[in-house]
Amino acid sequence: MGDPRKQKKKYVSPQRPFDSDRFEQELQLIGSYGLRNKKELWGHRTDLSHYRRQARNLLALPQEERQRLESELIDKLARLGILTGEPSLDSVLDLELEDVLERRLQTIVFRMGMASSVYHARQLVTHGHVALDGARVMSPSRIITLPEQDRLSYSQKSPLNDESHPARIAASEVAKMVSAQTGETMVDIAPRRADLEFDEGFDENVD
């Protein structure tokens, strides 16, 4: 039994520590989503690996045995907003790391137009300016469910509740600019995934 005072590592390190292609891919994702370091990225990659492994294990079961467990996994991922479109175990296997990163609190705060950039969004979260159901949430990496997304707001004591606050104006201008250029809202737009295969040697069969 391990020491309860020591937290278990929540991520799996790459199998190939020195891989220039992986370094470039990681840096692109860290920049696109405003992550603090690679450990954050690896943590979400490990979560994705767990989802995929569950799907593979379920596909190996007889149809009558897997039906209930399949519904539980698909419903969970759909509620988290990670799984969209036609839900199936095959679609779970097709999930990409960006699908998980898009559901981070930090990303959603930016997509909702509450911040002018993903880095600004991280600052707002860590400084206690963002609330869920009126209670401050200060973890940028928290995965937000679809119902929770509609209940996000600025925290009660945040000066950003004033619509004339410069940061609110800047965030609004960014949202308007994106909408004018693309015809879509910030929430509808995900970063481009061009050439980001991200198959860099992580072990997906981990506990």
pLDDT digits (tens, 9 = 90+) for 51-98: 999 999 999 998 888 888 999 999 999 999 999 888 889 999 999 999
Of the two residues 202 and 47, the one the predictor is more confident about is 47
- Reduce the secondary structure of the chain to three states and give it as a string: CCCCCCCCCCCCCCCCCCCHHHHHHHHHHHHHHCCCCHHHHHHHHHHHHHHHHHHHHHHCCCHHHHHHHHHHHHHHHHHHCCCCCCCCHHHHHCCCHHHHHCCEHHHHHHHCCCCCCHHHHHHHHHCCCEEECCEECCCCCCECCHHHHCCEEECCCCHHHCCCCHHHHHHHHHHHHHHHHHCCCHHHCCCCCCCCCCCCCCCCCCC
Q: Which fold has domain 105-182?
A: 3.10.290
Characterize the bridge pairing of strands 130-132 and 135-136. antiparallel
CA distance 136 to 139: 10
- What ranges do the domains of the chain cover? 20-100, 105-182
Q: How confident is the model over 123-134, as pLDDT tens digits?
A: 999 999 999 999
pLDDT of residue 103: 96
CA distance 25 to 13: 15
Q: What's the whole-number mean pLDDT along residues 146-166?
A: 94
Q: How confident is the model over 183-194, as pLDDT tens digits?
A: 666 555 454 443
Of 109, 99, 91, 8, give the one whose Cα is nearest residue 47. 99
pLDDT of residue 65: 83
